[in-house]
Amino acid sequence: MSQVPAVAPRTSIVVPVLAAGGVVVSLMQTLVIPLLPVLPKLLNASAADTSWVITSTLLAGAVATPVVGRLGDMYGKRRMLLFSVALLITGSVIAGLSNTVLPMVVGRALQGAAAAVIPLGISIMRDELPAERLGSATAVMSASLGVGGALGLPAAALLAENLDWHVLFWTSAGLGVVVFALVLAFVPESSVRTGGRFDLVGALGLSVALVCLLLGISKGADWPASVTFALFGTAAVVLLVWGWFELRVRQPLVDLRTTARRQVLLTNLTSIVFAFSMFAMSLVLPQILQLPVQTGYGLGQSMLATGLVLVPSGLVMMAMAPVSARISRMYGPKVTLMVGALVVGVSYGLGVVMMSEIWQLVLISALIGGGIGLGYGAMPALIMGAVPVSETAAANSLNTLMRSIGTSVSSAVAGAILAHLTISFGQVEVPSQNGFRLIMGIGSATALAALAIAAFIPARRADPVVTPSLSAARR
């Protein structure tokens, strides 16, 4: 028990430092949104080539998250957290020096590879915090993803409109350096390790499957159908072989037996569907806000104004973190997740009929942000309540990956809908109001589907968390 006094004074600063890391990573994801319309001109490349600036970030994050999570369990979560932040800094510097598409894609891929920061942060909290603080801390860490995104859009728009666009990436690098220093100074390294040998074959197999799957999702509309089907087919075959291999290797990248536990499996399925519904807000609301008033439903706002409209959603998301933890303590994280899904579903339903005024979109986005804050705060508690302490980072990373897959599928589906439901505006085609309403309706339906799946999660609270000192005493 002698370890407790040494660790306890540090816990008050660990949570804000880790949450700051989550905010910086999510800021990175929204960094290029203001630049998307002008990227071909800025990088002297075609629109098809510059689309890889977004795709590379998605692919790198999907591949890195489960791999880095497993390495964190094996060799130290703080060590891998620092490594991830270092990748973000390096990628930001490369992008800040870029004037052509290739180095920009490389820089954005390195930034995307830092996505493991959030699941690693949640796992560090499980190792370092007392049980009574863990629920609210992990809810704050989960909410940091939305907060960074909501605050990053107006900040990036302001910088892009008034300064050289490279400043966006130098700002990201500077924030990364600050986070790196704070983690180095205040976040302790956990003694909870699995050890063993890294499953390189499993990592390569999962990476190939994820790249094929996400390429098929994100690029399917741009490439021939035969290529898309080949990618999906390859992903399916590789996943089957990978699963067969993982069940037979002694120390797998992903413990499929643990993943198949009812609580973990249903939480991950709920995460995919919930994340699918979440992305509709970030795709629909900005377009409605920025389309010309002459369309009859557009609100004619600038990118900066659009970003400011979405800020309340991030703030509400963060405000819901302690509420999420309180509901989970009283009724269990399953109930919290169900309430969050219900709030999101009802909010999207309101959005179908309330999209004609700015205040209506502020209200809808804030309500959706509140539901996401509740749901995302409960997911880590459900995962950690069903997996061994030694597999926390890998399990949380897999859950984060499930969310990424959900948002990727949502983006592709919503993009296809808006591409087909259009109206003529001058000499161009723009998404129709019915297209936006359909996506809002789908968002509502999928959120309610997530509620239905979550209802089958075992009705029990998360297992008590073993603190590092107790763990050491038992060993």
Question: Bigger pLDDT: 164 or 149?
Answer: 164
In this predicted structure, what is the pLDDT of residue 155? 78
Give the pLDDT band (50/70/90) at residue 290: confident
Cβ atoms < 10 Å from Cβ of 150: 27
Give me 226's structure tokens.
């035969």
Give the pLDDT band (50/70/90) at residue 181: very high
Would you say residue 3 has pLDDT above 60? no
In this predicted structure, what is the pLDDT of residue 461? 47
In this predicted structure, what is the pLDDT of residue 214? 87
Give the pLDDT band (50/70/90) at residue 447: very high
Taking the C-alpha atoms of residue 168 and residue 33, their distance in angstroms, rounded to an integer, is 11
In this predicted structure, what is the pLDDT of residue 156? 78
In this predicted structure, what is the pLDDT of residue 159? 78
Would you say residue 193 has pLDDT above 80? no
Cβ atoms < 10 Å from Cβ of 42: 16
Q: What is the mean pLDDT of residues 422-443?
A: 86
Burial 116-147 (b: 16+ CB within 10 A, else e): bbbbbbbbbbbbbbeeebbbbbbbbbbbbbbb
In this predicted structure, what is the pLDDT of residue 106? 94
Would you say residue 308 has pLDDT above 70? yes
CATH number of 12-199+251-456: 1.20.1250.20
Give the pLDDT band (50/70/90) at residue 269: very high
pLDDT digits (tens, 9 = 90+) for 362-401: 999 899 989 988 998 888 889 888 888 878 888 888 888 8
Give the pLDDT band (50/70/90) at residue 259: confident
> CA angle, 354 as apex, 352 and 358 as ends, to 5°?
130
In this predicted structure, what is the pLDDT of residue 8? 46
Give the pLDDT band (50/70/90) at residue 10: low
In this predicted structure, what is the pLDDT of residue 276? 85
- The fraction of the chain above a pLDDT of 70, given in percent, is 94
Can you give the residue ranges of every domain in the chain?
Answer: 12-199+251-456, 200-250
pLDDT digits (tens, 9 = 90+) for 316-331: 888 888 888 889 888 9
Q: Is the pTM of this model over 0.85?
A: no
Mean pLDDT of the chain: 84
Nearest to 213 by CA among 240, 234, 192: 234
pLDDT digits (tens, 9 = 90+) for 203-245: 999 999 999 988 888 787 778 888 989 999 999 999 999 999 9
> How many angstroms separate the most distant Cα atoms in the chain?
74
Distances 392 to 307, 387, 428, 465, 473 between C-alpha atoms, Å: 35, 7, 50, 11, 20
